[in-house]
Structures are given as C-alpha cells and as structure tokens.
C-alpha cells in the first residue's frame, strides 16, 4: 500500500513538508510496520491515510508549538528521547524530519527494541539509537539523567505518571512534550498540583484538530520550572 503524500496539507497545518528522501523514508517505515505486524502486534492503524494522520502527522504535530514559539530551537543540534516509543512513534518520524537531532528510542519490551533496530538499519537513520529499559529506572542513570533537550511521551500512561517519567530526563532548559487526546480544566488543575510537588512548570497546553478525521488532540509542554 502507498502512503498519501499530502504535501500541501503538511505545509498548511505544520508549516513543514517532507522532501523526496523523507517521503521515501516515511513510505519505507510504513512498509516495515505492515511487515512487522505480521510477526507481532505493533499497531492497529494500518490503512494509508489513517497511518499518515495518526502516526506520521500526529508525531510531528507535537513540534508545531515549538516551531512557532521558539523557531531558533529547531535549527540546533538537539538531543531527544522518546519514552515508551512502542513501534517508534513519535521518535522515528521526528528523526526522519530532523536529521540534525540525536534521537533515542526507549522501550521496556525487547521485541519492540529488536524491531526498531531493524527500522533504524533499513532506513539508515544514523541519528537514532535504541535503549531497552523502563523510564522510571533509566531516568536515574547518570548517562540519561538531565541529558535531553526534548522528552516525548505519546500514549504511555496518565499524565501525572508521564510527568514523573519525563522530568528526570530533562536538561535544565529542556522541554517535555506530552501527547494527549481529550483534555479538561480539571486535568489542568491536577497537573499543576503534581508539578508543584515535582518542580515542573506548564509552558503551554496546545489544542488542535487533526486534518483528516477532525479529531481533537492536545499537546502539553512542560519544563523543569
């Protein structure tokens, strides 16, 4: 199956679009996911347009607020870690879109790490590596503690747990991006209470609509305070 290109939609919604090499990598990633699904369960999202929106577009949508608020940041050589990466989202699309960043994919499941090693090799993602382990343990490791400019978490756990996972990985000036679905004022109050105890700060809660299915999504941007 062939992924839709939708270059105009990329540009209109995220002010970015893949070049030819990046689009080819997206297509290759899609094929690898479809093949990997035959060996073990990676994702239920396999139709081309749904994959484009819910895996590729959604992964990169988390960077949209940074692009607007701190555009200079995205041009730097940043260190990024994707906690609980699963099949590689959002980490692999981010690595494809920003080849000058160093991306680490963390997951606690060996078979997923093995699959991601195949993906990295076949896509020739020289800026990407994997790490097997649990976020709450790896974050205490001196090599990873306070080591990352951006920490991403997508569909990992409830938001309080995500915050507790993310903060130890962040550099003093780093930003955690939490990908969420629905969000409420009560959720914000609970999060602020948690951050008050753990020394974090909400920078922004961004709400947006996905371009094909018109679903509501949120991204939370959090610093160490």
One pLDDT digit (tens) per residue for the chain, 225 residues: 999 999 999 999 999 999 999 999 999 999 999 999 999 889 999 999 999 999 999 999 999 999 999 999 999 999 999 999 999 999 999 999 999 999 999 999 999 999 999 999 999 999 999 999 999 999 999 999 999 999 999 976 788 899 999 999 999 999 999 999 989 888 888 888 888 888 899 999 999 999 999 999 999 999 997
Q: Kind and range of the H or E element at 34?
A: helix 20-37
Residue extents of the structural domains in the chain: 7-223
CA–CA separation, 180 and 155 (whole Å)? 7
* Residues present in the chain in total: 225
The reply to whether 154 sits in an annotated binding site is: yes
Instruction: Please check if 84 is assigned to a binding site.
Output: yes
| 135 belongs to an annotated ligand binding site | yes
Written out in words, the top-level CATH class of the domain with range 7-223 is: alpha beta
- Measure the CA–CA gap between 47 and 169, rounded to whole angstroms: 34
Helix (H, G, I), strand (E, B) or coil at 44: coil
108 annotated as ligand-binding: yes
**With the C-alpha atoms ordered 165, 74, 19, 129, is the resulting torsion angle positive or negative?**
negative
Spatial distance between the Cα atoms of 35 and 128, rounded to a whole number of angstroms: 21
C-alpha 2: how far from its chain's center?
Answer: 23
Contact 106, 128 (CB under 8 A): no
107 annotated among ligand-binding-site residues = yes
The predicted structure's pLDDT at residue 49:
98
- In the chain, how long is the greatest CA-to-CA distance? 48
**Strand 148-154 to 128-132 pairing:** unpaired
The answer to whether the predicted template modeling score (pTM) of the entire model surpasses 0.75 is yes
Amino acid 187: pLDDT: 85
Q: What pLDDT, on the 0 to 100 scale, is given for residue 198?
A: 80
Could you tell me the two tokens for 98? 């920003």
Would you state the pLDDT for residue 97?
98
């Amino acid at each position: 199956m062939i992924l839709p290109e939708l270059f105009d939609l990329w540009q209109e919604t995220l002010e970015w679009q893949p070049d030819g090499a990046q689009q080819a990598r997206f297509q290759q990633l899609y094929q690898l996911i479809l093949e990997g699904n035959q060996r073990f369960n990676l994702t239920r999202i396999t139709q081309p347009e749904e994959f484009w929106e819910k895996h590729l577009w959604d992964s990169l949508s988390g960077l949209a607020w940074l692009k607007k608020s701190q555009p200079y940041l995205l041009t730097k050589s940043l260190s990024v870690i994707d906690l609980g990466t699963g099949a590689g989202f959002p980490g692999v699309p981010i690595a494809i879109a920003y080849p000058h960043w160093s991306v680490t994919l963390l997951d606690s499941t060996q078979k997923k790490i093995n699959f991601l090693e195949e993906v990295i090799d076949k896509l020739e993602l020289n800026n990407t590596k994997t790490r097997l382990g649990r976020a709450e343990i790896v974050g205490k490791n001196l090599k990873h503690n306070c080591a990352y400019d951006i920490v991403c978490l997508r569909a990992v756990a409830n938001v309080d747990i995500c915050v507790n996972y993310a903060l130890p990985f962040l550099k003093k000036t780093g930003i955690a991006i939490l990908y969420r679905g629905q969000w409420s004022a009560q959720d914000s109050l609970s999060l602020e209470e948690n951050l008050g105890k753990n020394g974090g700060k909400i920078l922004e809660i961004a709400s947006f609509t996905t371009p094909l299915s018109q679903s509501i999504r949120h991204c939370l941007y959090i610093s160490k305070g």
